[in-house]
Amino acid sequence: MKRELLFVLPSTFRDEFRIQGFRFGSGEKSIAIVGAMRGDELQQQFICSQLVNTLQDLEERGDLVPGHEILVVPSANPFAMNIGKRFWAMDNTDINRMFPGYSLGETTQRIAAALFEQLQGYRFGVQMSSYYLAGHYIPHVRMMHTGYEKPELAQGFGLPYTFLRNPKPFDTTTLNYNWQIWETQAFSVCAGQPGHIDNDSARDIVSATLRFMALHGIIKCRTHPGYYSELQLEENLITVKARRAGILYCLVRPDESVRRDQVLARILDPYDGSVRWEARAPEDGTVFYTPAKPLVHENSVLFRIIPN
């Protein structure tokens, strides 16, 4: 294992900004794995730290297949994490909306450009990502529909679902999209809530990543066979929004099967506890997402359901 400084940005008033990487093996650029892009993605950094630890153990046992290089970057935004902010501390910009970057541009553009230079040329790229809605959801793999994607490869992670997303204009500046355009098969692996560490889901994602690498002959490792990953178009997910504001009393959890017209949650009056509104399933399906916060606003997303 080689621990490297991939990018250093001098600072006038505090310590230098550093992006560190861990490189295993040598030869073909086989897979690059990136963790926290945002300051609240503790789960994603933790997953990468466990991968580094596991790969180091595999390396000592001679279980890395010769001729393959693995790069793990646990965090691309340590400054924001140190002060508990989600985005770049100075101007609140998102590094994952700056790719492929610009080396003479704003700070986050320069960070994205330096990081992308290190990540180009790999056969596979894996970004440990948080879901864009804060809450509980089924661990899954996401891919951008760019015309270069191969969804069948994503199913090799053995997670319950693989989602294919038609990119919107703002998606064209993400790492996943640009990896695909520059001929890397890119996957966003989503598990865990921002600001929290979930040991169980972290173990599942580490196992899924090792499973993927073993499947493609990068490492020698026996893992749980995982799930038969079901391919879904993200646009087919059914969204249930709150029609009233109040205290959310949730009755279902992610990965739970529901029937049409089943009560999913009740929104209660915060003063007298009366039921203001009941959220019901519009179709038969599987609950994919539920919110984490107990207070909800009118028209906010309550559930996302995978239809049968």
CA distance 3 to 23: 7
Here the tokens at position 236 are: 């087919």
Query: Is residue 178 classed as helix, strand or coil in its secondary structure?
Result: helix
User: Over its length of 308 residues, how does the chain's per-residue pLDDT go in tens digits?
Assistant: 999 999 998 877 778 899 999 999 999 999 999 999 999 999 999 999 999 999 999 999 999 999 999 999 999 999 899 888 999 988 899 999 999 999 999 999 999 999 999 999 999 999 999 888 889 999 999 999 999 999 999 999 999 999 999 999 989 999 999 999 999 999 999 988 888 899 999 999 999 999 999 999 999 988 888 899 999 999 999 999 999 999 999 999 999 999 999 999 999 999 999 999 999 999 999 999 999 999 999 999 999 999 99
CB-CB contact of 189 with 134 (8 Å): no
* pLDDT for res 248: 97
Gyration radius (Cα) of the chain, Å: 20
Sign of CA dihedral 128, 200, 2, 124: negative
Query: Is residue 50 classed as helix, strand or coil in its secondary structure?
Result: helix
Closest alpha carbon to 209 in 286, 171, 157? 157
Here the tokens at position 51 are: 């991968």
Cβ contacts of 225 within 8 Å, gap of 6 or more? 158, 211
Give the chain's domains with CATH numbers.
2-233 (3.40.630.10), 237-307 (2.40.50.100)
* pLDDT for res 64: 97
The size of the chain, in residues, is: 308
* pLDDT for res 270: 95
Query: Is residue 305 classed as helix, strand or coil in its secondary structure?
Result: strand
CA distances from residue 39 to 94, 105, 108, 222, 237 in whole angstroms, order as listed = 10, 21, 13, 33, 28
* pLDDT for res 157: 97
